[in-house]
Amino acid sequence: MMLRSCFSCVNFVLYVANCRFQIKGHEMKRSLNNNKGVTLIELMVVVAIIAILVGMAALSMDFIRGERATSATRELLADLQKARVDALTTGPSTTAGNTPQLRGFGVRFASTTSYTTFAFNDSNDNAAYSGTGEEINAATRSVSSNLSIQLSVHTDYPIIIFDRFGFPTSCKTDGTVLSDTDGTRIILVREITTNKTKCIRITTNTVREGAWNGTSCAEK
């Protein structure tokens, strides 16, 4: 909207300048002694105004792109936090959703532009994720094409599942579970054009938005 307004202003300025040039042209026909650089000065003023408006439009677009990254990060954060809360508060059921082997809730990062939230129903009762067949109530969310979602660490373990204690477990699509002592997962949301990056920290007990400094996601 702001960019459209800027271009409207530019068109108006050019229209006014054109009118002035035409008026000056008529005056020049009457008196050739009356054109002492006025037209050149007016042209310089118009160019300066256009440059200012173009700069304002560019800043506006950068702000909009940054806001998209912020919005996508907060939406993902809300989905992760909900998955953890649901895991803490929802147990197996033979009636509500038909989840007799419910073992938790998770998020699967299928690509850099989408992710899927789901309830983990351990249908083969092996206490391990065994593929998308054990995902129920799955919902896929997509982000704008100019955004990228990716794991900063443990990139080959794109699935995060919270158990009934709220503890996160990372695993591969074949069910291989990540075995690590730290347990910290970092998820990055990056705006491709400006490279502005937001991050989310998942630890044993928390899921929070952090501050990305280029190499790590510090706690806010």
Edge-to-edge order in the sheet of strand 135-142: 135-142, 114-121, 102-111, 159-162, 168-171
Quickly tell me which residue has 């038909």 as its tokens.
98
With CA atoms as reference, report the closest residue to 217 among 197, 191, 199: 199
For the four alpha carbons of 154, 156, 162 and 163, in that order, the dihedral sign comes to negative
Q: Which residue has the higher pLDDT, 35 or 219?
A: 219
Please compute the mean of the pLDDT values over residues 5-32 and round it to a whole number. Answer: 46
pLDDT tens, position by position, 139-187: 999 998 899 999 988 889 999 999 999 999 999 988 888 876 567 899 9
Percent of the chain residues past pLDDT 70, beyond the cut: 73
Residue 11 scores a pLDDT above 60:
no
pLDDT tens, position by position, 181-219: 567 899 999 999 888 899 999 998 899 999 999 889 988
pLDDT tens, position by position, 19-32: 444 544 444 444 44
> Given this model, what pLDDT does residue 3 score?
39
Q: Is 8 within 8 Å of 14 (Cβ atoms)?
A: no
Calculate the average pLDDT of the chain. 80
> Given this model, what pLDDT does residue 95 score?
54
Please compute the mean of the pLDDT values over residues 92-113 and round it to a whole number. Answer: 80
Q: What angle do CA 179, 185, 191 make, to 5 degrees?
A: 145
Q: Which residue has the higher pLDDT, 103 or 14?
A: 103
Q: Supply 215's token pair.
A: 């190499």
